[in-house]
Every structure is written in structure tokens, then in C-alpha cells.
């Protein structure tokens, strides 16, 4: 039984080591490991992209807690990325403590956080581990910032599983000519599931950049009037200055 497990493990590692080769984005060992930093400032974001991105590509997942059971899921996704050969993978955390917790479980995992100041009542509780709304706001923000910096970004929910190289599909055939890809959500043809988003080859002032800028800006504008428009359930005059 032990022999079989070893043989199977060797086969799995051999197969995994080749998983990234078909798409041509094998970056493990070619980019930084264990990168940590606050990307609030543009220079730090550029530093992260310089150190971690590979062929103008980066893969990101987000995680908000420090002791949550989701930590196991995040570490599992990191392990999958490593075995597939993707070093250009980074976890977006709520704060430095999140990245410290990720680092304890996976010292080589890259992790960044954004300390941009937010309204204390933004989306309700902004301090607890469960303040996922804030993390989603930061998620839209980093997509916009990375895309505007000229780097393609693939974002995945941390419970996502990849069975093969996604770049085989993203860089070939019809998908190669699309600038924004996401998963279908529910029964509506216009709903986009944010569990899988890929943005590639976009102009800093183009329509795709605008989409994520807008998604980020809406929440910030809600803060401008102390959330009165949001609390009114949209019944305020749409010509109000904050809109």
C-alpha cells in the first residue's frame, strides 16, 4: 500500500508539473515567493506586479479572516496553484494580520492587503472577519488598478478548483479576443458570477476599465452623503450631487 501511494504521488507530481506547460505560463520559481505588502499606494502595487506577475499575468483570490475555516480552503487553492506551476498567484487579504495568518500556513504564498481608508459604517461591520462586503469592494478595486496598470488578471473564489491549465482556453480560440470573461450566474443571460473573472488586454480608459472603476466608485459615492441615498432605498432625487 505504501509503495502504491508513493508511486501515485510521484505520478501526480509529474503530471502536475506539466499542467502549466500547455498554456506556456509556468512561473513557479521565476517570480517572487512569500511576497507581503500593503498595496494602498500605487508604487507598492507596481512593486507587487513587478515581483509577482509573469508575462503580464497575475492570478488572485481574496480572503478576509485570520482563523476562519476558509483558511484551509485558501491554502488548498495555493497548493493547487503551486503544483500546477503557477507562481504568479497572490492572496488579497483584509489587512496585514490576514497575510500573517496565510504566511504561517504557507510561507511561500504571496499575500497583499489594501489599507485604503473606508467609512467606518461602510457596508456595516468593517472590522470582523465576516465583513465580506468590504473585501468585495477591494476585490473590484484591485481588478481596476491591475488592469489599468497593463497586467492581465484572473480572479478566483478561494474554493475554486482548476482541473487543467485555464490559459489553454483563455489565450486561444474565441476567448483570446475577449477582454472580460466571467462565469454565467443563474438563469439570466446578463448575470455575471464573480467567482471566475478574467480581464486581459484592456485600455486604461476603455470600457472594461470603466466597469470596474464604476463598481468601485458606487460604494465610495454612497459614503459621500453618509449613506443617506442607500438608506433611502434609492428614493432620493437622482440628480443629487453625490450621484
Rounded to a whole number, what is the distance in angstroms from the first to the last CA of the chain?
66
Which of 49-63, 134-148, 175-189: highest mean pLDDT?
49-63
Over residues 64-75, mean pLDDT: 76
> Model pTM?
0.81
Q: List, in order, residues 6 or more apart from 7 with CB less than 8 Å away.
A: none
Which of 89, 22, 92 has the alpha carbon at shortest distance from 53?
A: 89
Q: How many CA atoms lie within 13 A of 125 on its CB side?
A: 7
Which of 155, 135, 144 has the alpha carbon at shortest distance from 198?
A: 155
Mean of pLDDT over the chain: 81
- Residue 62 in contact with residue 93, Cβ under 8 Å? yes
- Residue 221 in contact with residue 243, Cβ under 8 Å? yes
For 126-174, how does the pLDDT look when each residue is reduced to its tens digit (9 = 90+)?
Answer: 455 446 667 778 888 999 999 999 999 999 998 888 888 999 999 998 9
Amino acid at each position: 500500500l505504501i509503495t502504491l501511494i508513493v508511486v501515485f504521488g510521484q505520478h501526480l507530481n509529474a503530471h502536475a508539473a506539466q499542467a502549466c506547460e500547455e498554456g506556456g505560463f509556468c512561473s513557479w520559481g521565476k517570480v517572487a515567493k512569500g511576497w507581503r505588502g500593503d498595496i494602498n499606494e500605487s508604487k507598492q502595487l507596481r512593486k507587487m506586479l513587478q515581483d509577482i506577475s509573469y508575462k503580464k499575468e497575475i492570478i488572485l483570490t481574496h480572503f478576509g479572516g485570520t482563523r476562519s475555516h476558509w483558511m484551509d480552503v485558501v491554502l488548498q487553492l495555493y497548493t493547487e496553484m503551486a503544483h500546477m506551476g503557477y507562481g504568479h498567484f497572490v492572496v488579497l487579504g483584509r489587512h496585514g494580520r490576514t497575510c500573517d495568518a496565510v504566511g504561517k500556513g504557507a510561507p511561500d504564498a504571496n499575500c497583499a492587503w489594501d489599507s485604503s481608508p473606508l467609512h467606518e459604517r461602510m457596508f456595516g461591520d468593517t472590522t470582523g472577519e465576516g465583513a465580506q462586503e468590504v473585501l468585495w469592494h477591494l476585490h473590484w478595486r484591485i481588478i481596476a488598478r491591475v488592469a489599468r496598470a497593463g497586467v492581465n488578471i484572473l480572479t478566483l473564489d478561494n474554493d475554486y478548483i482548476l482541473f487543467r491549465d485555464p490559459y489553454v482556453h483563455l489565450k486561444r480560440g474565441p476567448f483570446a479576443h475577449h477582454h472580460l470573461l466571467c462565469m454565467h450566474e443563474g438563469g439570466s443571460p446578463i448575470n455575471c458570477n464573480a467567482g471566475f473573472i478574467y480581464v486581459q488586454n484592456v485600455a486604461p480608459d476603455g470600457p472594461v476599465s470603466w466597469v470596474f472603476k464604476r463598481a468601485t466608485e458606487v460604494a465610495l459615492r454612497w459614503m459621500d452623503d453618509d449613506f443617506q441615498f442607500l438608506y433611502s432605498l434609492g428614493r432620493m432625487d437622482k440628480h443629487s450631487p453625490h450621484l
